[in-house]
Structure 1
Amino acid sequence: MTALGPKSEAALRAAVERLLDGRPARTDGALTVANLAREAGVSRATANRAGALLAEFRAAEARHRRSSPRVLKERIRALEAELRPVRGAEMAELRALARTLAQHIQVLTLQVAERDAVIDGLREELARSPATSVVPLRRPSHDSVG
């Protein structure tokens, strides 16, 4: 097997770390050589030339498979701990938004009630004086100067 260039080896080592840590950037995270190559951004042939690195990867994958439930439980706990403050902040933000929207609805409801009262008053005034005729006002056109 031919030696790898330093860039390829560094990319493969970084990819091994990401895959084993469960934080893939380019793949579904399955611990396969094909995913390792994709994750590193190198060809499968380049990955296959990294014999020692592949042996380390396969050994780590085997250890990972054996300890998987423990690793996954730890990862779940860590993610839940990260989410707790985010959820709390989101909930507080949503509660504040709900209060603001409720206040807007209340104001709009009062404005509608006031408008309806004015309309009813005007209708009553029209009904009391049947001889009154309503003449619509014309809006001045934009062309006329005022």
Structure 2
Amino acid sequence: MSTNRIAERDAIQAARQRLLAGTPARSTGALTVVQLAAEAGVKQWVLTHKHPDLRKEFEAAQESVNGIPAAFQTLPVKVDDLEAANKRLREHNSELTERNEIYPQVIHALTSELAELRRVRTLPSNVRRLPTDTTASPQT
């Protein structure tokens, strides 16, 4: 076997390991023959015609991991967790939005009631006026 052919095989095998590990250096990381060739730095025909045994090994490995590199095997679980957290945050946001819509109504009602009490000049025993100092000069 020529030195060039041995170098191609070594490059393809190293590329296969990187793709399956989810650590691509020259490709998108997808587990396809096209990306294997790109990762190895060889033309696709070199992989499919000169080294069909390596292509078949890669395809077998690809099937054994369901086409998902090892580094990305946990992503579906993480996505589910993030979607659940997002749902909880949206529900909490809706609750806070409802509260914020009620607060102006409560403030208005209390302000109106206080204005009426001031108009009448009588305050209930559980309400006291805040002290006001009319003799103090404004601070600069």
- Tell me the TM-score range normalised by the shorter chain: 0.3 to 0.5
TM-score between the two structures when normalised by the length of structure 1: 0.43
Bigger share in helix = 1
TM-score between the two structures when normalised by the length of structure 2: 0.44
